[in-house]
């Protein structure tokens, strides 16, 4: 936006034509050309027109090496018959694997399962996160300390959460099951049915990540200007109206942001599922990420898993665009 | 090999390595490092510790064995990633028996026939290794004469039971009164125990909280029997295969490739009967059985914490059960043969699925490294080391060691282990094993959690395997 | 533009709110509390039925974190946890720091000197975080082997930096966007160099943003498992990988030991978050939300 | 010599021409105000002078030197920004010292200079506060102090007073003017507030749509607006601009204004006017005199609204749907609905041709 205008490049080009500069060239027979072109190159590179490019270059290079190159590699593989475990060289396959994946009912089933888990978990995260943010919005003694208690779950590893929640659900030893048995007389076998197992996963995941949503919402809440609340109070707005017209608009964008990040992350949910249910009972809680893991790493159907991943990427990109569309609309409104 | 942070990075490391190689050739005793991938648990830690303390290479080289201890839950992931990516990091690998086909066909595991043929010591070791181990741990194609590995930790399943309950006079009498048979206590009584008695045990020891149990009362709901019924890894196939084989059913037999079929074999009447038998017995197990999560660790926990009277589990998991730090009944747990199916002749069939891990060599090493690795194999398979291993929680693979008069008394489960070896078979070793295993576990789980009948599950398994193996060219 | 969304003073609620939030907070915190309690329990207590809330605490589990008994005899052998702990701190801190440095520079570039197709770049950067990581593992492995980075610190550090980069760029860019360009212009007029503008004018205003970005990146990196499992060697292994040792072996899950490791491993990230808590709250309005 | 010169200064953003061939010439010690409605290109012009914006075309000379290729820092100018642009992380004293770091000065010298300007702008009490803890007026004074702490070639102000309340604005206006006259540098002030421009400027450049409409002293601009835009823009209440056809001219010019025929005495301009063409007649609200009855050259209108302004009263009248503003003495009592006759004194008229240009009378 605010580009400073300097034209060092042209100024220095003038300079190099001065006698002093040409002297320099004749003085030394070996390095001057290199030295000069080096310096020119340097000046070219760091000229203001290229400042933006220079600033982002390290990041782009790093992302290219560490993310984009491997992605392109696997993208390429998705068009070949290839098994990572096999010594046979890849053979061209065209869109074979895309067709295969898109027509595979198993993939659609796994996507459906994933969607169910994502929908429930993200919804729960939004609700819990929002409720807790409202709770912490006001100032009260020990607010800092209590807030830390609530933030802790997201600092735990997936392994820790998975393993301990599985223990909580365990019918004999699990504290949840024992609590249930105390009231209902029989142990809780939550993981025995599809929906029980889905809820088991959703509870663990939502517990872990609601604090994330809470932080974002809280940031929105504390930025609502006081005068709006005062105005709402003067206008004798009901709690709900105040929430809808004053609070929510300030939080909506952040809520959408949380929604996007959590949807993308939950879409990839793997460890918690793998540890708590291993996809069971049967395959009823097997998410798409678990499925990709199996296909890629246990079955070594490298091409198929690559093709599948790219379809997933497409789905996520669509979701993201949708999200960005909403965010942009919001920014225009304000 | 220490990985230190090096500012100049890979380049310096490369030059440094070249420099080392040059200096190394100048002295006679070479530094040779054998990196070995292994799961992080007792049997491999023992190998490392024992090696560090006692191993001296005969060649005079300075041989170091460096274990990469990888947590069990992620062991396969780590090894598979390393091998298939061409990382070439490991010179030796502790493998699971099922994997070897995958990595042999991938060109990662070294065929040992030519080394065995050239070395009488190795020949003697192969001869002395129990045939069940050779078959399961060394051969590919399965049961062929191509050898690839040696037993690192051979494992079998056996019955773990609570002496204080099974040998309790009052309980014994009550059992007799109710079921007419003997509540097994001694080794001989357990040897005569079939699945019918096992079911009676399950029914007999089903006590509610507060009921009388042994000398006291049950502090919690108490159950009679449990065996593995878990969705993860192979935590149900290993037990279900036993039932299928004992009932005369079969799994797809890769030794008869390409004639062997899956449909009509995997789902034949005997197999279905065997699977149904397995399912029927689950009703006497703790409630976790209903969730399809009753894996080998859960049943271990159940007996250690006093929630169940008897289980069937691997010997490899037995040491903690005798450790009072982990087990509430460390003093009361004993081991016996697994129950089996009594035939018309009155004999008990005990076919079961073998466990444990072989270790193998990789293909990308210099001859020198390979020879040193084989020296380590010979050292490990030597009777003294094997005996010491058995004394420290392991099991020997050598028949000569197992035949020693004191072997059975080294650990309380050894007698059963040795006797059961003749009943061991293994699942498939073909590279498709993971797909077959995974799909089978899913279908078994559906039957365990009541979504399918035994027949439906086995039909689905047979069809899947038939299609998969036909596509792979293994069934014609 | 200015002061439009100034943080207002929080409204006061008294001890009543403390009680209410305390009750809810404790319920929410209960699983963590249970884990921490388990760290001080014997195995039998940990699995007791009915569950034990009052028990005789033991420090055995914490001893086991650092020492184990050898397979032969009864010598105490180091478990290497100290090294793993150091590795975790070192790798996470370096990765986050690197991502923060590179990400902040890039964010400054994207914010102040937009390129052609600026938004496209930003979007592509975001999408690199969207795939299940399992899919890029084989090529990354291969790359690491070619460059000799496998098992080294810098390999993982670079990977974690790249892993945190999209997030850092997005977050920092939104902070730069909220800064007034006038201040930078003023500095330019006052004779400041471009470097001076960035370091003396922009960065000091972004302390909160940097802190928030660092905390989020740290939380995401601290517990990273898959890449750590596959790309570290036995000397560079991090705690989450070493932690997995306690959930399968000859003993299923070693509840007390696992809980003890979780508890110890929670301390640094908890501490950092607590110290940066105020910044976190101010700086959390990141990403695509402007003003 | 501290001067600012721009010639043909142009800025295009894609298809949009924000600044279109601006020629300015500010002498040393002179204060030039760039005045115009928002979006007219005045701030962009200022930023191009400062070097914060790249000129698409044209030159900027500061102190006689072409500075197009120099960075803002090299141009040696001081600027006060609309939102003050105080460095939020530096205290007031550090803010004031900041521009001095670029000149090689000792710490003692810097401290001395800071003390001087702080004294001048009464900032002694707040030197150690952060900008966020200052009142609006204090921030403004810090911004001004920071600009004069150095001895730059020239000063640029971007809407310097727009964020102050009326009282502060008046005070600051005087203070800035005083300081500027002391420093006698070329100064450019951007503002949209004509009162600010009229009081502070030596000359005013009125801008619209990227062009300069008129540059002149405040008096000239007020007395001789060069075109309809300037006439309408300068002066409060706004000048009445009535468009009408010249019906005939015979010593007197008869215009059809607001549905009435109004004859005006236009002296020697007659021969430059043509019957049948449209003209705009401009007259300031204070130039209209309410008469009790119709007179030659008067305009009848109905009082619509009476707005007392203290010393005077502003009347809004309605004639054939045209709004006419008249300022009368507060003693004159007018009721809404009353019909008035407005006398148009010829010497207070401004006449503009069809192209909007002024026709000298």
Residue D46 near residue D33 (C-beta atoms within 8 A) = no
Q: Give the model's confidence band at A195: pLDDT under 50 very low, under 70 low, under 90 confident, else very high.
A: very high
Q: Residue D241: exposed, middle, or buried by beta-carbon count in 10 A (0-12, 13-18, 19+)?
A: middle
Q: Are residues D170 and D60 in the same domain?
A: yes
Per-window interface: B 282-341 vs A, CB < 8 A: 286-288, 290-293, 298, 301-302, 305, 307
Q: Are A69 and C143 in contact (CB under 8 A)?
A: yes
Which secondary-structure segment (H or E) carries D66?
strand D65-66
In the predicted structure, residue A17 carries a pLDDT above the cut 50: no
Q: Give B343→chain C minimum CA distance, Å.
A: 34
Q: At residue B12, does pLDDT exceed 50?
A: no
Residue B270 sits in the same domain as residue B200:
yes
Of C93, C237, C239, A62, the closest CA to residue B3 belongs to C237
> Looking at the domain assignment, is residue D291 inside a domain?
yes
Kindly determine whether residue C189 and residue D87, on different chains, have CB atoms separated by under 8 Å.
Answer: no
The pLDDT of residue B94: 95
- Provide the pLDDT for residue B25: 47
Strands B62-70 and B31-39: parallel
Is D255 inside a domain boundary?
yes
Average pLDDT over residues B380-389: 94
Stretch A51-72: mean pLDDT, rounded? 87
H/E stretch holding C76 reads: strand C76-78
Question: Is the residue at D10 inside a domain?
Answer: yes
Cβ distance of A148 and C273 shorter than 8 Å: yes
Chains B and D touch (3+ CB pairs under 8 A): no
Out of C35, C105, C136, the one facing A55 most closely (by C-beta) is: C105
**A25 interfaces chain D, CB cutoff of 8 Å:** no
Nearest CA in chain C to A329: C289
- Residues D73, D26: one domain? yes
For testing contact with chain C, the best of D44, D48, D72, D91 (most C CBs within 10 A): D72
pLDDT score, position C7: 39
Specify whether D124 is located in the same domain as D264.
no
In a domain, D234, yes or no: no
In a shared domain, residues D65 and D117: yes
Chains touching B, CB cut-off 8 Å, 3+ pairs: A, C
Query: Is residue D235 situated within a structural domain?
Result: no
Q: Is C49 on the interface with B (CB under 8 A)?
A: yes
* pLDDT at site C216: 84
Helix pair angle (C118-127, C153-178), 10° resolution: 140
Q: Tell whether A190 lies on the interface with B, counting CB pairs under 8 A.
A: yes
| D74 interaction partners in chain A (CB closer than 8 Å) | 6
**Are residue B200 and residue B290 in the same domain, yes or no?**
yes
For residue A237, the model assigns a pLDDT of 74
Interface check C58 vs A, CB under 8 A: no
Among C177, C159, C169, C181, CA closest to C210 = C169
Indicate which CATH number applies to the domain containing D108. Answer: 3.40.50.300
**A202-256 residue pLDDT tens:** 999 999 999 989 988 887 787 777 677 777 777 777 778 878 777 887 787 778 8
**Where among D228, D257, D290 does a domain terminate?**
D228
Of chain C, the end-to-end C-alpha distance in Å amounts to 8
> For residue D251, what are the domain limits?
240-359
Domain co-membership, B89 together with B219:
no
Average pLDDT over residues C242-259: 88
Helix (H) or strand (E) holding C189: helix C181-189
A27-49 pLDDT, tens per residue? 343 444 455 677 777 777 677 77
Task: List the strands of the sheet with D31-35, edge to edge.
Answer: D77-80, D154-158, D186-191, D31-35, D203-208, D211-216
Give the one of D73, D87, D90 whose C-beta lies nearest to C189's C-beta: D73
Q: Tell me which residue of B413, A296, D81 sits closest to C250, measured CA to CA.
A: B413
D53 touches chain A (CB under 8 A): yes
- Orientation angle between helical segments A248-267 and A105-135, nearest 10 degrees: 140
Q: Answer yes or no: do B100 and B180 share one domain.
A: no
What is the torsional sign of CA A307, A309, A313, A314?
Answer: positive
Mean pLDDT of chain A: 80
Q: Residue D321, class by beta-carbon neighbours within 10 Å (0-12 exposed, 13-18 middle, 19+ buried)?
A: exposed
Contact residues, chain A, for B302 at CB < 8 Å: 172
Cβ A6–D52 below 8 Å, yes or no?
no
Q: In sequence order, what DSSP letters do the residues of D211-279 get, joined into one string?
A: EEEEEE-HHHHHHS-SBHHHHHHSSSSPPEEEEEEEEEESSSEEEEETTEEEEE--GGGGGG--TT-EE
Q: Which of B69, B296, B325 sits opposite C43 (nearest CB)?
A: B325
Find all residues with CB under 8 Å of A164, minimum gap 6, and list them. C31, C34, C35, C259
Coil/strand/helix, residue D185: coil
Query: How does DSSP classify residue B373?
Result: H
**b/e sequence A157-186, b meaning 16+ C-beta within 10 Å:** bbbbbbbbbbbbbbbbbbbbbbebbeeeee
Distance CA C204, CA C198 (A): 9
Assess whether pLDDT exceeds 80 at residue B40: yes
| Contact state of B288 with A170 under an 8 Å Cβ cutoff | yes
Residue D233 lies in a domain: no
Of A199 and A259, the one with more pLDDT: A199
Asked if the Cβ–Cβ distance from C191 to D101 is below 8 Å, we say: yes
Count of C-beta atoms within a 10 Å radius of residue C268: 17
pLDDT of A8 above 60: no
Which chain B residues are within 8 Å of A282, Cβ to Cβ? 292, 442-443, 445-446, 449, 451-452
A283 touches chain B (CB under 8 A): yes
* Residues pairing with D352 in the sheet: D280, D358
The CATH 1.10.3720.10 portion of chain A extends over 97-333
Distance CA A61, CA A50 (A): 16
Mean pLDDT confidence for B99-106:
90
Same domain for B453 and B343: yes
In a domain? residue D224: yes
Structural domains of chain B, count: 2
Is the domain of D176 the same as that of D256?
no
Question: What local confidence, expressed as pLDDT, does residue A332 receive?
Answer: 57
What local confidence, expressed as pLDDT, does residue D136 receive? Answer: 84
pLDDT of residue A186: 84
**Residue-wise pLDDT tens digits, B198-207:** 999 999 999 9
How do beta strands D186-191 and D203-208 pair?
Answer: unpaired
d(CA B56, CA B33): 13
- Cβ distance of D73 and C201 shorter than 8 Å: no
Whether the ω angle into residue B97 lies within 30 degrees of 0, i.e. cis, is no
A68 min Cα distance to partner chain B (Å): 18
Cross-strand bridge partners of residue B99: none
Maximum average pLDDT range among A316-330, B174-188, D63-77: B174-188
Q: Residues D65-105: pLDDT tens digits?
A: 899 888 888 888 888 988 888 888 889 998 898 888 877 78
B446 touches A at CB < 8 Å: yes
How many CB atoms sit inside 10 A of residue D175's CB?
16
> How confident is the model over B114-173, as pLDDT tens digits?
999 999 999 999 999 999 999 999 999 888 999 999 999 999 999 999 999 999 999 999
Measured in angstroms, the CA of B192 and the nearest CA of chain C are apart by 29
| Residues B47, B28 share a domain | yes
Residues of chain D found within 8 Å of residue C204, distances taken between Cβ atoms = 87-90
Q: Do C21 and A67 touch (CB under 8 A)?
A: no
The residue-averaged pLDDT of C38-65 equals 91
In sequence order, the 6+-apart residues with CB closer than 8 A to the CB of D95 are: D86, D87, D131, D142, D146
Whether B4 is in a domain gets the answer no
Q: What is the DSSP letter of A18?
A: S
Question: Among B102, B290, B451, whose Cβ lies nearest the Cβ of A282?
Answer: B451
- Residue D272's domain is classified under what CATH number? 2.40.50.140
**CA of B41: which chain C residue's CA is closest?**
C249
User: How many structural domains compose chain D?
Assistant: 2
Give pLDDT, residue D1.
61
CB contact under 8 A, C128 and A132: no
Average pLDDT of every residue of chain C: 83
Say what the pLDDT of residue C290 is: 34
Q: Nearest CA to CA, how far is C212 from chain A (Å)?
A: 11
Asked whether the beta carbons of residue C71 and residue B46 sit closer than 8 angstroms, the reply is: yes
Using a CB-CB cut-off of 8 Å, the residues of chain A touching C29 are 149-150, 152
Helix (H, G, I), strand (E, B) or coil at B247: coil
**Integer Cα distance of A16 and A11 in angstroms:** 9
Q: Which residues of A touch D52 (CB under 8 A)?
A: 2, 4-5
Q: Residue B439's closest CA among B234, B154, B275, B293? A: B234
Report residue A74's pLDDT band, with 50, 70 and 90 as the boundaries. Answer: confident
**C72: distance to nearest CA of chain A, Å?**
30
Cβ–Cβ of A192/B291 closer than 8 Å?
yes
Q: Is B216 helix (H, G, I), strand (E, B) or coil?
A: strand
Contacts of residue D157 in chain C, CB cutoff 8 Å? none
Name the neighbours of C, counting chains with at least 3 Cβ pairs within 8 A: A, B, D
Compare CB distances from B435 to A280, A281, A299 and report the shortest one's residue.
A299
Do C140 and A70 lie within an 8 Å CB cutoff?
yes
B2 in any annotated domain: no
Spans of chain D, pLDDT less than 70? 1, 251, 267-270
Do β-strands A80-81 and A91-92 pair in parallel, antiparallel, or remain unpaired? antiparallel
Contacts of C16 (CB under 8 A, 6+ apart): A140
Is position B103 within any domain?
yes
- Please state the CATH superfamily assignment of the domain spanning residues A97-333 in this structure: MetI-like (1.10.3720.10)
d(CA C100, CA C108): 12
Alpha helices in chain A (DSSP H): 8-16, 19-27, 31-45, 51-63, 69-77, 96-102, 105-135, 143-151, 158-169, 175-184, 194-221, 226-234, 239-242, 248-267, 271-276, 288-293, 302-333
The CATH number assigned to the domain holding B463 equals 3.40.190.10
The residues near C139 (Cβ < 8 Å, ≥ 6 apart) are: A69, A70, A73, A74
Q: Work out the percent of chain A whose per-residue pLDDT is above 90.
A: 28
Q: Is the pLDDT of residue A78 over 50?
A: yes
- B167 plus B149 within the same structural domain: no
All domains of chain C in start order, with CATH = 15-73 (no CATH), 81-254+262-283 (1.10.3720.10)
Give the containing element (helix H, strand E) for D35: strand D31-35
D27, D183 contact by CB (below 8 A): no
* A193–B85 C-beta distance less than 8 A: no
Confirm if A191 and A200 have CB atoms less than 8 A apart. yes
Residue D282 within a domain: yes
Residue B312 CA to residue B184 CA, distance in Å, equals 15
Q: Is B476 inside a domain boundary?
A: no
Pair type for strands B92-94 and B157-162: unpaired
Q: Which domain holds residue B376?
A: 9-154+356-425
Residue scoring higher pLDDT (B460 or C251): B460
Domain final residue, candidates B425, B440, B457: B425
CB-CB neighbors (< 8 A) of C253 in chain B: 297
């Amino acid at each position: 936006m605010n580009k400073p205008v300097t034209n060092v490049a042209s100024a220095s080009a003038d300079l190099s034509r001065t006698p002093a500069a040409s002297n320099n060239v004749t003085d030394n027979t070996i390095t001057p050309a290199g030295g000069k072109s080096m310096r020119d190159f340097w000046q070219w590179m760091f000229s203001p027109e290229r400042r933006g490019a220079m600033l982002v270059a390290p990041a782009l290079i790093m992302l290219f090496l560490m993310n984009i190159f491997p992605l392109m590699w696997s993208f390429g593989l998705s068009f070949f018959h290839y098994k990572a475990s096999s010594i046979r060289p890849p053979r061209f396959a065209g869109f074979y694997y895309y067709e295969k994946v898109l027509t595979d009912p198993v993939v659609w089933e796994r996507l459906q399962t994933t969607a169910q888990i994502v929908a429930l978990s993200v919804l729960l995260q939004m609700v819990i996160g929002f409720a807790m943010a409202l709770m912490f919005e006001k100032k009260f003694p020990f607010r800092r300390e209590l807030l830390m208690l609530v933030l802790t779950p997201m600092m735990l590893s997936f392994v820790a959460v998975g393993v301990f929640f599985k223990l909580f659900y365990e019918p004999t030893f699990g504290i949840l099951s024992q609590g249930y048995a105390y009231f209902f007389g029989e142990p809780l076998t939550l993981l025995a049915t599809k929906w029980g197992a889905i809820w088991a996963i959703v509870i663990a995941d939502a517990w872990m990540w609601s604090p994330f949503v809470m932080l974002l919402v809280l940031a929105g809440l504390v930025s609502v200007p006081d005068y709006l609340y005062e105005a709402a109070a003067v206008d004798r707005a009901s709690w709900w109206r105040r929430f809808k017209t004053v609070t929510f608009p300030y939080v909506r964008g952040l809520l959408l942001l949380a929604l996007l990040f959590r949807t993308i992350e939950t879409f990839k949910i793997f460890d918690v599922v793998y540890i708590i249910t291993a996809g069971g009972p049967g395959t009823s809680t097997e998410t798409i990420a678990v499925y990709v893991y199996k296909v890629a790493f246990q079955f070594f159907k490298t091409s198929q898993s690559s093709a599948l991943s790219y379809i997933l990427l497409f789905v996520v990109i669509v979701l993201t665009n949708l999200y960005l569309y909403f965010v942009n609309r919001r920014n225009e409104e304000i | 090999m220490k990985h230190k942070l090096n500012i100049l990075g890979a380049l310096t490391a490369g030059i440094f390595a070249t420099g080392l190689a040059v200096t190394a050739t100048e002295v006679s005793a070479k530094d040779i490092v054998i990196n070995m991938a292994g799961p992080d648990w007792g049997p491999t830690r023992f190998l490392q510790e024992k090696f560090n303390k006692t191993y001296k290479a005969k060649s005079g080289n300075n041989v170091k064995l460096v274990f990469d201890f990888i947590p069990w839950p992620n062991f396969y992931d780590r090894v598979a990633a390393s091998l298939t990516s061409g990382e070439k990091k490991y010179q030796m690998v502790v493998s699971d028996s099922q994997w070897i086909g995958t990595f042999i066909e991938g060109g990662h595991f070294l065929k040992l026939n030519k080394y065995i043929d050239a070395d009488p010591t190795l020949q003697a070791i192969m001869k002395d290794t129990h045939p069940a181990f050779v078959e399961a741990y060394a051969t590919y194609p399965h049961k062929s004469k191509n050898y690839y590995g040696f037993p690192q930790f051979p494992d079998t399943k056996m019955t773990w039971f609570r002496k204080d309950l099974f040998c309790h006079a009052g309980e014994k009498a009550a059992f007799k009164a109710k079921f007419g048979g003997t509540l097994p206590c001694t080794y001989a009584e357990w040897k005569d125990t079939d699945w019918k008695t096992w079911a009676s045990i399950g029914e007999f020891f089903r006590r509610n909280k507060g009921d009388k149990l042994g000398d006291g009362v049950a502090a919690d709901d108490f159950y009679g029997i449990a065996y593995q019924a878990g969705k993860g890894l192979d935590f149900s196939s290993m037990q279900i295969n036993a039932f299928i084989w004992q009932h005369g059913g079969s799994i797809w037999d890769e030794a008869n490739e390409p004639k062997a079929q899956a449909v009509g074999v995997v789902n034949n009447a005997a197999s279905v009967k065997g699977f149904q038998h397995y399912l029927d017995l689950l009703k006497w197990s703790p409630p976790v059985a209903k969730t399809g999560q009753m894996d080998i660790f859960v049943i271990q926990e159940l007996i250690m914490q006093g929630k169940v009277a008897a289980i069937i589990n691997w010997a490899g998991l037995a040491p903690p059960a005798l450790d009072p730090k982990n087990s509430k009944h460390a003093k009361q747990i004993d081991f016996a043969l697994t129950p089996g199916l009594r035939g018309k002749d009155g004999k008990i069939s005990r076919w079961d699925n073998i466990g444990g891990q072989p270790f193998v060599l990789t293909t990308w090493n210099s001859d020198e490294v390979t020879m040193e690795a084989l020296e380590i194999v010979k050292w490990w398979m030597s009777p003294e080391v094997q005996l010491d291993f058995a004394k420290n929680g392991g099991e020997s693979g050598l028949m000569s060691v197992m035949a020693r008069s004191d072997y059975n008394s080294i650990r309380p489960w050894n007698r059963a282990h040795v006797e059961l070896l003749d009943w061991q078979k293994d699942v498939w070793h073909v590279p498709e094993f993971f797909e077959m295993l995974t799909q089978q576990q899913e279908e078994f789980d559906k039957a365990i959690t009541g979504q399918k009948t035994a027949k439906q599950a086995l039909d689905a398994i047979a069809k899947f395997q038939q299609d998969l193996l036909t596509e792979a060219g293994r069934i014609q | 533009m200015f002061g439009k969304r100034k943080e207002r003073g929080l409204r006061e609620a008294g001890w009543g709110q403390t009680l209410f939030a305390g009750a809810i907070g404790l319920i929410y915190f209960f699983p963590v509390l249970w884990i921490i309690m388990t760290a001080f329990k014997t195995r039998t207590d940990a699995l007791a039925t009915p569950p034990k809330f009052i028990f005789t605490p033991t420090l055995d589990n914490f001893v086991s974190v650092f020492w184990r008994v050898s397979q032969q005899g009864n010598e105490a052998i180091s478990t290497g946890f100290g090294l793993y702990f150091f590795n975790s701190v070192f790798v996470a801190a370096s990765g986050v720091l690197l991502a923060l440095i590179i990400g902040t520079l890039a964010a400054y570039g994207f914010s102040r000197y937009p390129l052609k197709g600026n938004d496209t770049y930003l979007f592509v950067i975001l999408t690199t975080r969207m795939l299940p990581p399992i899919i890029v593992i084989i090529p990354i492995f291969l790359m690491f082997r070619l460059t000799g980075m496998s098992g080294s610190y810098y390999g993982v550090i670079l990977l974690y930096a790249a892993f945190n980069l999209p997030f850092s760029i997005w977050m920092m860019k939104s902070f730069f966007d909220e800064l007034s360009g006038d201040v930078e212009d003023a500095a330019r007029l006052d004779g400041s160099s471009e470097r001076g503008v960035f370091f003396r004018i922009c960065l000091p205003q972004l302390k909160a943003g940097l802190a928030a970005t660092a905390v989020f990146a740290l939380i995401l990196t601290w517990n990273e498992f898959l890449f750590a499992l596959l790309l570290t060697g036995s000397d560079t292994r991090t705690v989450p990988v070493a932690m997995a040792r306690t959930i399968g072996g000859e003993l299923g899950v070693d509840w007390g030991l696992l809980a003890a490791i979780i508890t110890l491993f929670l301390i640094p990230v908890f501490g950092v978050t607590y110290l940066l808590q105020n910044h976190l709250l101010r700086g959390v309005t990141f990403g695509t939300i402007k003003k | 010599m501290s001067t600012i010169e721009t010639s043909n200064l142009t800025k295009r953003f894609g298809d949009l021409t924000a600044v279109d061939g601006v020629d300015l010439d500010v002498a040393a010690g002179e204060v030039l105000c760039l005045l115009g409605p928002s979006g007219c290109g005045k701030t962009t012009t200022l930023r191009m002078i400062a070097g914060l914006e790249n000129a698409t075309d044209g030159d900027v000379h500061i102190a006689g030197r072409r500075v197009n290729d120099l960075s803002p820092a090299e141009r040696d100018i001081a600027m006060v920004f609309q939102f003050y642009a105080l460095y939020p992380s530096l205290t007031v004293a550090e803010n004031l010292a900041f521009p001095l770091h670029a000149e090689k000065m000792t710490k003692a010298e810097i401290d001395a200079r800071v003390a001087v300007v702080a004294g001048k702008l009464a900032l002694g009490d707040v030197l150690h506060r952060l900008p966020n803890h200052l009142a609006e007026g204090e921030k403004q004074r810090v911004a001004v102090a920071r600009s004069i702490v150095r001895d730059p070639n020239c000063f640029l102000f971007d809407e310097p007073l727009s964020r102050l309340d009326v009282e502060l604005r008046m005070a600051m206006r005087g203070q800035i003017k005083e300081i500027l006259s002391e420093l006698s540098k070329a100064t450019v002030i951007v503002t949209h507030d004509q009162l600010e421009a009229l009081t502070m400027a030596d000359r005013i450049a009125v801008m619209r749509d990227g062009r300069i409409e008129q540059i002149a002293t405040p008096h000239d601009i007020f007395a001789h607006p060069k075109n309809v835009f300037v006439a309408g823009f300068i002066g409060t209440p706004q000048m009445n601009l009535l468009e009408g056809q010249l019906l005939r001219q015979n010593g007197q010019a008869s215009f059809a204004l607001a549905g009435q025929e109004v004859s005006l005495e236009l002296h020697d301009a007659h021969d430059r006017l043509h019957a049948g063409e449209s003209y705009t007649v401009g007259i300031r609200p204070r130039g209209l005199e309410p008469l009790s009855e119709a007179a030659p050259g008067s305009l009848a209108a109905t009082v619509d609204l009476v707005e007392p302004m203290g010393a005077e009263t502003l009347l809004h009248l309605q004639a054939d749907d045209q709004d006419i503003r008249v300022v009368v003495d507060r003693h004159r009592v007018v009721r809404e609905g009353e019909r008035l006759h407005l006398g148009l004194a010829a010497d207070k008229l401004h006449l503009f041709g069809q192209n909007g240009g002024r026709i000298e009378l």
